[in-house]
Amino acid sequence: MDTSMIKAEHLTFGYGKNKQVFNDFNLEIEKGKIVGLLGKNGTGKSTLLYIICGLLKPSHGNVTIKGIDIRRRLPQTLSDIYLVPEEFDLPNLSIKQFVKLNSGFYPNFSNETLSTCLNDFDLGMDINLGELSMGQKKKAYMCFALATNTSLLLMDEPTNGLDIPSKSQFRKVIASGMTDEKTIIISTHQVRDIDRLLDHITIIDDTDVLLNKSVKEITDKLYFCEQSMNEPTDGALFIQPSVQGNSIIMENRFGEESPMNLEVLFNAMLTERSKIQEVFNK
Amino acid sequence: MTTNINFSFTRLMAVMKRDMIENWKTNMYRLIGVYTGAAMAFLFGMNGILSSNRGETGEAQYAGFCDTFHSILIFVIFFYLMICASRIMEVMNTKNKRISYMMLPATIGEKFISRVIYVCITSMIIFFVGLFLAELTRLILLPLFDAPEEFSRFCLFDIMSVSLDDTIRINPGLYTERQSAEIISYLFVISNCLWSHSIYILGGTYFRKHPFVKTWGIMMALFVIAAYIFGNLINIMSYFSIDLTDERFWIKAQTLFTTISIVFLVLAVINWALSYHLFRNSQITDRKLFT
């Protein structure tokens, strides 16, 4: 059985001749995963999301979603993908009218999911989209996106503009709406908002995939811990000063369990890439 | 809704409905604009004709009113259609709107046709509803004017009937005395209108900001160049004593105008094809004509 949701092969893309973003870029993402797409500013996270959903066309290579070339922009593919961009406009309509106009395009749309999700975010079914604050608009839009029940949900900086309680609600609604047939890709800089939610990490940098592993694979191979300043750091793959002392990544030689520190992992991949990759290659 | 990969009428209707309702404010402002403009024109026009009465009968005054408005109306309709045509990609003029519209699960053809119907038909319906309401306003306010009985007629039909007849028949004698001149003049006017309209459709698909002004500017530049070339051509023809109206001449006037009409029709088709090509290859970044 093919478990692949997205397959990007030999992607080459640039904004003009002097601004190459991807060069022979390859990526495969499986079904049933919540993927964290991480990278520095300008590394092409949003661009990759746009290419995945066919809003940008690579000069070379192709992207397939469940085996269908996304460049064809077929209704059957588009009705199975939903993109929540970082910035968006919503019409000056009630949520009911918005749902009435748009839900028909998504065969698996669930009013129940929408209602539950809106309640979780303290929004009702009687809201007018034109009268909401930016944060509330984002919540309403994400609820609609989740209610479409598309196999692929792409979110670009979804927690930007959300207040603290909403960030934890966000994690809750994402986790509750997850199934084995769905894939959610979350591109973000706010790693602490989502690190407990993810089960796959993809880090991109300078047209390359630095890391594309499941959280299980990462925690099987790497051991994350906090140490005081005085404790020895021998054998550490990466050390990052923290409030408690040092955040450390070590090779997990004894199969110990540790919670993944996404921020430290991200910094480690940027600075000590070869050391970390060596551990994964063992 | 169907996920048929071919054309689906249900989906087309859904795209159009979404477009209409989500942009209800734009449509409402457009209707208010047309209504206000037309109502002001009707009322001030009627007042002007009535106050400058030099002893004409009511019938003559009413005919004058209709005559004045028929040419204005044709000009306004043409101008309005061009503005609407240049707004064909209004739903994609910002990055956010492009993402929303391009991600809509419908075929590219359905989305394009939906926009074509909007700028060609729905916009005209909005225009005529505005005009109708303006005419109703004129009739309601008629008692305030000391107008002859003829002015209480519903003037839109009278204006239209004059307009259609007068505009299409652009002096058939100008081209030739023959009966077929009328058909050629029809063809010539229609092909010119279709071509002009298609230019604004193309401009609207290509330019994201101020498409009407930019297309109009280019059209004016082309017109100046064409006028210069045409002027020189006339000079050359008179230098060689070529008279197009001369029956013995190898190019007949009819043939020339028929050829020009066909060329315009072909150019209109090319413009539409280019517009669709641009739309089909739309990305959220800038459009490129040759990709």
| B174 has pLDDT over 60 | no
Structure tokens at A225: 């811990």
H helices of chain A, in order, are 45-52, 75-78, 95-102, 111-120, 134-147, 164-176, 191-194, 215-221, 262-271, 273-281
CA gap B258, B273 in Å, rounded: 23
User: pLDDT-derived band of residue B286, with 50, 70 and 90 as boundaries?
Assistant: low
- In this complex, is the C-beta atom of B13 within 8 Å of any C-beta atom belonging to chain A? no
Q: How far apart are the CA of A80 and the nearest CA of chain B, in angstroms? A: 9
Predicted local confidence at residue B246, as pLDDT? 64
Mean pLDDT estimate for chain B: 85
Residue B1 with chain A: CB contacts under 8 Å: 79, 104-105, 107
Beta carbons of A281 and A268 less than 8 angstroms apart: no
Check residue A60 and report its DSSP letter: E
CA gap B102, B145 in Å, rounded: 53
| B170 has pLDDT over 70 | no
Predicted local confidence at residue B196, as pLDDT? 93
Predicted local confidence at residue B4, as pLDDT? 60
User: pLDDT-derived band of residue B2, with 50, 70 and 90 as boundaries?
Assistant: low
Beta carbons of A52 and A8 less than 8 angstroms apart: yes
Query: Which residues 6+ apart lie within 8 Å of B279 measured at CB?
Result: B89, B108, B111, B112, B205
Which 3-state string (H, E, C) describes A31-49? Answer: CCCEEEEEECCCCCHHHHH
CA gap A216, A259 in Å, rounded: 10
User: pLDDT-derived band of residue B40, with 50, 70 and 90 as boundaries?
Assistant: very high
* pTM > 0.95: no
Secondary structure percentages of chain A, helix, strand, coil, to 5: 35, 30, 35
Query: How do strand A152-156 and strand A81-84 relate by DSSP bridges?
Result: parallel
Nearest to A107 among B1, B94, B284 (CB): B1
| B37 has pLDDT over 50 | yes
| B163 has pLDDT over 60 | no
Beta carbons of A121 and A139 less than 8 angstroms apart: yes
Query: Helices then strands (H, E): number in chain B?
Result: 10, 0
Query: Which residues 6+ apart lie within 8 Å of B250 measured at CB?
Result: none
Per-residue pLDDT tens digits of chain A, which is 282 residues long: 678 899 999 999 988 777 888 888 888 998 999 999 999 888 889 999 999 999 999 999 999 999 999 988 999 999 999 999 999 999 999 999 999 999 999 999 999 999 999 999 999 889 999 999 999 999 999 999 999 999 999 999 999 888 888 888 899 989 988 888 899 999 988 888 888 889 899 999 867 888 999 999 999 999 998 888 877 777 788 888 888 788 889 888 888 888 888 999 999 998 888 888 888 887
Report the 10 Å Cβ neighbour count for A248.
Answer: 22
Q: What are phi and psi of B99, to 5 degrees?
A: -60, -50
Predicted local confidence at residue B168, as pLDDT? 46
Nearest to B283 among A56, A79, A101 (CB): A56
User: pLDDT-derived band of residue B277, with 50, 70 and 90 as boundaries?
Assistant: very high
DSSP 3-state assignment of A3?
Answer: coil
For range B261-285, the mean pLDDT: 93
pLDDT in tens, B81-128: 999 999 999 999 899 999 999 999 999 999 999 999 999 999 999 999
| Chain B, window 57-96: residues with a beta carbon less than 8 angstroms from a chain A beta carbon | 94-96
Structure tokens at B228: 């210069």
CA gap A93, A112 in Å, rounded: 20
Name residue A200's beta-bridge partners. A35, A214
Contact B21 A106 (CB under 8 A): no
